[in-house]
Structure 1
Amino acid sequence: MADSSSPVSGVADRYAAALFELALEESALEQVEADLDRYSQMLDESADFRRLVESPAFSSEDQLGAMKALNERAGIASLAANFVGVLAQNRRLFTLPGVIRSFKRRAAEHRGEATAHVTAAQALSEEQKSALKAALKERLGKDANLDLKVDPAILGGLVVKLGSQMIDTSLRTKLNMMKSRLKEAS
């Protein structure tokens, strides 16, 4: 995943800004966001799709043809499908994950929502997601979208980032703090 200071992130942000403006102009914000969610789901679930998106070994024609077939199969025939075609033609399909993140952030800001980047040791159930959203809404005073990521290395608990704030209740952090205290005590 590219960090926010990388050139890939900058390109993804510019493409996302253009797509967002087009979606607003055409009153298609919800449809484009839903289609981008489908792409995101496909990226999460299919190693072949990730390889198609990330690998420079595929020509732009190969990527464009594959994306047309995928769009047809997934029922994506909107502005998002055309946009992804442009990414493929311009050899920028590798920016798709960053474009999705940036677009979703812009859409949430447009709706007055906050985005919480949540890292958990294992996938959260729908009940856990709802409880987390409710707790965040109470703290923020507004709805929060969850950008969920699973990282077994945190062992347990959650790491929640809201803008510049970070709430780290991970077991890994607690164990590291305990280890540090034990070193200081000896």
Structure 2
Amino acid sequence: MAMAGRMRSIIPQFNQLLKSESQIQRSALTRALLCPTTANSEISRNYATSSKKTEAKVKVPVALFGGTGNYASALYIAAVKANCLDKAETELLDFTEASKRSTTFSEFINDPTVRKDTRIKVINDVCAEAKFSEITNNFLALLAENGRLKYVDSISKKFQELTMAHRGEVKAIVTTVIPLPAEEEKELKETLQDLIGEGKKVKLEQKIDPSILGGIVVEFGEKVFDMSIKSRAQQMERFLREPANFDSL
């Protein structure tokens, strides 16, 4: 009860602080997803005869870089073209979570010694069993073919960035010692919503971290608002370690 009371007292301060703070398309990968295959050379041949019919102008809402960014962007473009963006997002999240829960499967996707044809067969079997869409199946098979299954979690997170941007959502990560009460969560969400204005929607994600000792930490866009007891204690420790300046007295 005391902890909940302290949390309620910190929310108004945080709200006040917040209110004071006033195309690249990955064509080769996209083609691979739109053309089912088990070999990149076959992808090129299949696509050569149909590119004019299937190619459409789709831009990613956020430019991502690096290998994982390329794969996430390619999946986004392919899913938009196939009109199955939400389904692809759900399926990729399901696959990622399932791989985390199964030690055996996690070891399989991270084992570089597994033969390529074995990786592809296992992934196709898993997708068939889960009744995944063709786009998701093709994507996971492509990762298996290129030895990139071990990066599926990172790719999934970047893909979520794209789907959230597509829906006009902005993620805010709230870290507390205990779950934020519903009333305080609603108040915080409204404050963040006022901050970003109309046209976008705040998506709140709560994290529990006893190490912050109390208070609240909010990661919102590129900003971090740290009002945790741990942070305040560290600031006090640094202050106490500094030599006293008696000349200023």
The TM-score by the shorter chain falls in which range? 0.7 to 0.9
Structure 1 residue 138, shift from structure 2 partner: 3.5
* 1:126-145 equivalences in 2 (<5 Å): 127=182, 131=186, 133-141=189-197, 142-145=200-203
Letter of the 1:60 partner, please give it: K
Partner of 2:40: none
**Normalising to structure 2: TM-score of the pair?**
0.58
Deviates more, 1:82-91 or 1:176-185: 176-185
* 1:1-186 equivalences in 2 (<5 Å): 10-116=66-172, 118=173, 120=175, 127=182, 131=186, 133-141=189-197, 142-146=200-204, 153-184=211-242
Unpaired segments ≥5 residues, structure 2: 1-64, 245-249
| Deviation string, structure 1 residues 39-95 (Cα, Å, up to 9, x no partner) | 232244333333333332433333323323332343323411220111101111122
Q: Aligned Cα RMSD in Å? A: 3.2
Runs of 4+ deviating beyond 6 Å:
none
- SS of 2:159 mapped into structure 1: helix
Q: 1:68 to 1:170 in 2, by over 3 A?
A: farther
Identity of aligned residues (%): 27
Q: How many residues align?
A: 177
Unpaired segments ≥5 residues, structure 1: 1-8
Letter of the 1:81 partner, please give it: N
**Normalising to structure 1: TM-score of the pair?**
0.74
Q: 1:90 to 1:170 in 2, by over 3 A?
A: same
Instruction: Quote the Cα distance in structure 1 between the aligned partners of 2:183 and 2:123.
Output: 34
Structure of greater relative contact order (alpha carbons < 8 Å, 6+ residues apart): 2
Q: 1:50 to 1:158 in 2, by over 3 A?
A: farther
Instruction: Quote the Cα distance in structure 1 between the aligned partners of 2:142 and 2:184.
Output: 35
Structure 1 residue 143, shift from structure 2 partner: 1.4
Contact 1:136–1:143 (CA under 8 A) maintained in structure 2: no
Structure index of larger Rg: 2
Structure 1 residue 32, shift from structure 2 partner: 0.8
